A and B are shown apart, each in its own frame.
Chain A
């Protein structure tokens, strides 16, 4: 069955909050009702019908024909079993607090992708903004489950306060990758700029290129881990290059010993 489709009529005149447009919240609504949903975030009204042409289809799978960097909160609180595909860019907080399901973005994404994600599978074909999987201001923990794959580059503070789940950045990562990580796994297949794994408690950061990790990361020598073999197999279908990296012999740096010190940076020997 063909997906339920929102086709972009025009670039939204203001930022729009797309959190009401998830399959479970659209269920049981007629097209006319959906077109009346208010998605503007200012005093000026912007309704779904102003921005999108809707064509009905299977609600299990939503499709946006055309995107915009003003599309905020796309797929927020998405539930398991549903899919959203965007043929274009999205704005901030894509997949925020998603419980499960799949989100695929063909273009770029703004800041705070997968913030508070609890189990969704999110793929960004382009670049992701700052604070990839990071918490909003004031929150104590970032992403707590799921898998996020960024095919392009990520901005600064990627993986901030990550608590659980897997983050793969196939391109480069900005400054302060994996800062304050609680647990979970982060991959960078390109270059990670600046400080890495600052105050990392128990997380694993896997880097394709070795760098200087500072004096609070301690060399534990090259290791052959069953865990990396296992993870390589489970990641093979999602990111072949991450799986290849895991299949190599990796040197383990334990840290950040400035805090808990039970995390690690793994990098080819």
Chain B
């Protein structure tokens, strides 16, 4: 494979393969930024992969008080699932267990989608008939009495089926420290892109998987081609100077958000260069036949 090199970083002539998803999200506000963030963190916990968690979720950005509907600090959390039904079920569950329970929180719609799913209209019954509905500018809101005052929650939030999940970057470096430095820089750059999240811990996954396994009934297993300890004994994709591989997986509300997030991450890695950070960047795909969205790394270069 003829490598492309930018600022000393080798870029694979490869592409990320991504899939359509249902994307939704909520804007959570609280009396201060700490508790808005806490609610969002709790709600987006255990949401790294649809395979085991039912959805993929993460924090898109913090929203300053001037931009929130109630003038309090806010956090925008996005949630992606394979169907709108899954997305609704996951969002309502997480809202009920993680946001309703979080002190001071309030919830607003934040995704302009072609569909709407019920959230406040689902958790309102927690109010045991003491809940009050308010319609403001044709949108319904619920006031549910709780022990610290009231939980204020929009009745419905937007959902779009035009979301994309599975954009990714494989960051390869000499050792863990350098690879992590480059990957963290890429995650920080992706955080700055609107409408996109990286759902894994801190945005980073170290156990990338391949399709299939030597065991019966396991649909995914470790991506041995990218495991540095197996470089000699398996059909490895790694060069001699690679000692560690980390992956960033990206979900976005739109095709363009995923592309821009990948571009921002790639640029940050290239800017850092191979001495401090990564020596090589690749992308994961399944041959191009499964997912309709392909993001070629060579198209995203600076």
Distance in Å: Cβ of A247 to nearest Cβ of chain B: 9
Q: Which of A124-132, A150-158, A219-227 contacts B (4 or more CB under 8 A)?
A: A219-227
A165 CA to B140 CA, complexed, in Å: 10
Q: Mark B274-291, 1 if CB is under 8 A from A, else 0.
A: 000000000000000000
Which DSSP category, helix, strand, loop or mixed, fits chain A's interface?
Answer: mixed
Q: Which of A11-19, A87-95, A228-236 contacts B (4 or more CB under 8 A)?
A: A228-236
The one of B133, B135, B150 in contact with A226, judged by C-beta atoms closer than 8 angstroms, is B150
Do B70 and A145 touch (CB < 8 A)? Answer: no
Residues of chain A lying within 8 A (CB to CB) of residue B130: 262
With A165-B135, A166-B136, A185-B134 already in contact, the answer to whether A223 and B149 are too (CB < 8 A) is yes
Residues of chain B lying within 8 A (CB to CB) of residue A230: 69-70, 106, 136, 141, 152
Do A145 and B138 touch (CB < 8 A)? Answer: yes
Residues of chain B lying within 8 A (CB to CB) of residue A231: 134, 136
With A145-B138, A233-B69, A233-B70 already in contact, the answer to whether A226 and B106 are too (CB < 8 A) is yes
Do B69 and A227 touch (CB < 8 A)? Answer: no
Q: Which residue of B lies closest to A145 (CB)?
A: B135
Do A234 and B152 touch (CB < 8 A)? Answer: no
Do A229 and B132 touch (CB < 8 A)? Answer: no
Q: Which residue of A lies closest to B30 (CB)?
A: A226
Asked whether A183 is an interface residue with its Cβ less than 8 Å from the other chain, the reply is yes
Residues of chain A lying within 8 A (CB to CB) of residue B70: 226, 229-230, 233
With A166-B136, A183-B133, A226-B106 already in contact, the answer to whether A233 and B71 are too (CB < 8 A) is yes
A250 CA to B140 CA, complexed, in Å: 22
Q: Mark A114-129, 1 if CB is under 8 A from B, else 0.
A: 0000010000000000
Q: Which residue of A lies closest to B131 (CB)?
A: A262
Q: Which residue of B lies closest to A254 (CB)?
A: B130
Asked whether B72 is an interface residue with its Cβ less than 8 Å from the other chain, the reply is yes
With A119-B138, A227-B141, A227-B152 already in contact, the answer to whether A234 and B69 are too (CB < 8 A) is yes
Given contacts A119-B138, A145-B138, A262-B130, 13 further A-B contacts (CB under 8 A): A166-B136, A183-B132, A204-B134, A225-B143, A225-B149, A225-B150, A225-B152, A226-B72, A227-B143, A229-B71, A230-B152, A233-B69, A234-B136
A-B contact pairs, 14 of them (CB 8 A): A165-B135, A166-B136, A183-B132, A204-B132, A223-B149, A225-B152, A226-B29, A226-B70, A226-B72, A229-B72, A230-B141, A231-B134, A233-B71, A262-B129
